[in-house]
Structure 1
Amino acid sequence: MAIELTDDLIQLQRAAAVAYDEAMRQAYTPETWAPWLEASEAVQAAVTAHAEATGQNRYEVEMALKLAVREG
């Protein structure tokens, strides 16, 4: 069975990836990493909710999402 992903999930993961890249370009401070942390927490909550709502395995949803964004 193919993992179903929504556009919202993909957009959240892309935003987290952008926030991570931005944080990596700067010296570490809690403030520079806060946007990535917040975006990552949003992705995790959305993945969990999506997996529960669709009856899909949460881990498989997360891995499919990361792969889709990396390849996309």
Structure 2
Amino acid sequence: MTNERGLPESLIDLQRTLNAAAEEARARGSSREEWRPWVEAAAAVENAFAEHAAAVGISVDELRSAVEKAARTA
């Protein structure tokens, strides 16, 4: 499923997960263990962005920017 901007909701949901993991890590502390969920989420997001960008023929940076904006505003 896509949103009104043509972005897959799955990518927006992944970005929201990444954002939430960062907030949780900031609240818990700065150790490597505290940031591990964010690191894992970031890797999943980057892989998904790369795959989708390649499939639709846009740059990963362009896709990332659009998804980050959609995740903040939705």
Q: TM-score, normalised by structure 1?
A: 0.90
Percent identity reads 37
What do residues 14-63 of structure 1 show as CA deviations (whole Å, max 9, x unaligned)?
A: 00000000000012111110000110111111001000001122111000
Large movers: runs of 4+ above 6 Å: none
Aligned residues: 70
Cα separation, partners in 2 of 1:4 and 1:58, compared to 1, 3 Å? farther
Uncovered stretches (5+) of structure 1, i.e. residues with no partner: none
RMSD across aligned C-alpha pairs, in angstroms? 1.1
2:46 is matched with: 44
1:22 is matched with: 24
The whole-number CA distance in structure 2 between the counterparts of 1:40 and 1:9 is 12
Uncovered stretches (5+) of structure 2, i.e. residues with no partner: none
Q: TM-score, normalised by structure 2?
A: 0.88
